[in-house]
A and B are shown apart, each in its own frame.
Chain A
Amino acid sequence: MTDPTENLISELRRGTLVLTVLSQLDEEQYGYSLAQRLADQGLEIDQGTLYPLLRRLEEQGLLDSEWSVEGPRPRRYYRLNDTGREALRTLSSEWYGLVAVLEKLLRKEEGDESRVV
C-alpha cells in the first residue's frame, strides 16, 4: 500500500500544475524544453502528464502552438496568448492570496505545536 502522504503531496502538486506551466510560457517552449526548464528549477513533472496538459491548455484557448522544423526534428512550440496571459494574472493573484492565508494558518499550527511541546 502506498503512503497516504504521497498521494496528498501529488494531489497538492497537481493543483499547481496549470499555474506552473503558464508561468513558463511567456516565451515559446516545446514540450521537452519546458520539462527540462522546470526540472532545472527543481520541479520534476511527469512527462506523460505535462505534454497532454499543454494540449488541453491549447484546446482551452490559453496557449497557441505551431510546428517548427528548424531543429534536428520537427517540434511543436507552445506560447501564452492574450487569454492565457490574463488567466496567468488571475491565477497568480489567487496563488499569492492562498499562500498568504496558508502561511497564517500554518504558522498558527506551528505555534500551537510549540506551545504543546
Chain B
Amino acid sequence: MKAELFDRYVHEVGRRLPKKQRADVEAELRSLLMDALQDRIDGQGEQASVEDQVAVLEEFGPPSEVAARYAPPHRYLIGPGVYNVYLIVVAAVGGALTIAYIVLLGLTAWSASASAIGTAIGELASSYINALLTAFGSVTLTFAVLERFVPASAWEKTSEKEWDPRSLPPVEDPERVERGGLIVSSVFLVIALVIFNLFPQWIGVGFVGSAGDGVRSWQFGPVLAPVFFSAYLPWLDVIWIVQLVLNVVLVRQGRWQLATRLVDLALLLGGVVLIGEMLTGPSIVTLDAIQSVELRDVLTRFVPGMVRFALLIALIATVGEGIAKLVRMIRVYVFRQEPGTA
C-alpha cells in the first residue's frame, strides 16, 4: 500500500525532532499511520484513497503539534517552535548585509585610488564582520527573549480546521540540487576569479598600525609570492572554472547524477592535491612588497604561520568533505540506500 502523503507527514514531523530520536519516531509513526489506515479501509474491500490518508492525518493533527509533543521537555534558548522562523530571519539579515557590503565593495573599487584600494577593502571587511556579528547577536537575543515570553504555540499555530494534509510539502529528494547555495557559490567563484587574476594587488593583509609617520591608521600590504601566481593560480583557475561549469549544469539539471557527483569528487581531489602542494612546496607568501619596516617585522612574525595553518585547516576540511561525499555516493549508487537511513 503506497501512502505518499504519510511519507510527507512523517518527514515533516521528523525534521522537527532531535536527530537522536528522529529515525525511531518516524518508523513508529509510519507504522501507526498504516495501522489506522488499514483499520479505516478494512471491510470496504477497496484500495486506500488520498481521502482516506487525509482523514487519518487529520485525526493525528498538524505535524508541528505532534512533533512538539514528541520533543523532550527542555528549555531552549531558541526552541523548535521558533527555530525555523529564526533561521529565516538570520538568513535574511545575513543576506541583506552581504548584498549591501558587496554593493559598497563595488562602489569602493570604483571610486578609490589604486594605492588606497587595499586599505579601503580592509576597513570594509572589518566593518562587515562587525556588522554581521552585531546583527546575528541582536537577532539571537531578540529570539531568546521571545522564546522566554511568547508561548511556543503562537509560532506555528494551525487550528485543526485550517490544517490540510494535502498542503504537506513533498519529502526532500536527497539528490535534489540546492539552487540557492549553488548560485551564491558561483557568485563568489566569479569574484575570486576576477580578483585573483585581474586585481592580485588587492590580496594582502591589513591591520591597524603606524606606517612610520607615527600616526596609527589602517595599514595594508600585498603578500602573495610570485610562485603563487606562476605555479598555483593556473590550477586554481582550472578548478574554479570547472566548478563554475558544474554549478551551471547542476542548476540547469536540478538534480545530482553520477557524472556530476564524480566531477564534484574530482574537483575536491584536485583541491586536496593543490593545497598539499602549497603546504609542502615553496611558500606562497612574501612580505617583500611591504614598505614599512615596522609592518614587515610584525607581519613576518605571524603571517607565514597563519597561512600554513589556514592551508592545513582547508586541507583537513576538503579531505573530510571528500570522504563524506564518497561515502554518500557509495550508499546512493552502490547500495541504493537513501542518505540519512541506517
Chain B residues with CB under 8 A of A67: 27
A76 to B66, CA, bound (A): 18
Chain A residues with CB under 8 A of B70: 52, 55
How far in angstroms is the closest Cβ of chain A from B12?
A: 13
A76 to B28, CA, bound (A): 7
Check A83 for interface membership: any CB of B closer than 8 A: no
Secondary structure at the A interface, as helix, strand, loop or mixed, is helix
For window 51-95 of chain B, which residues contact chain A by CB distance below 8 Å? 59-61, 65-66, 69-70, 72-73
Check B178 for interface membership: any CB of A closer than 8 A: no
Pick the contact of B35: A32, A46, A52, A55 (CB < 8 A): A32
> What range describes how many residues of B lie at the interface?
20 to 34
> What range describes how many residues of A lie at the interface?
20 to 34
Which of B32, B38, B72 has most A Cβ within 10 Å? B32
Chain A residues with CB under 8 A of B32: 30-32, 47, 51
- Of all chain A residues, which has the CB nearest B69? A52
* CB <8 Å contact, B61 and A48: yes
Check B36 for interface membership: any CB of A closer than 8 A: yes
Check B29 for interface membership: any CB of A closer than 8 A: yes
* CB <8 Å contact, A48 and B31: no
27 residue pairs bridging A and B, Cβ less than 8 Å apart = A31-B28, A31-B32, A32-B32, A32-B35, A32-B36, A32-B39, A46-B59, A47-B32, A47-B59, A47-B60, A47-B61, A48-B60, A48-B61, A48-B69, A49-B69, A51-B28, A51-B29, A52-B69, A52-B70, A53-B69, A59-B72, A73-B34, A74-B31, A75-B31, A75-B35, A76-B28, A76-B31
Please report B residues at the A interface, Cβ cutoff 8 Å.
21, 25, 27-29, 31-32, 34-36, 38-39, 59-61, 65-66, 69-70, 72-73
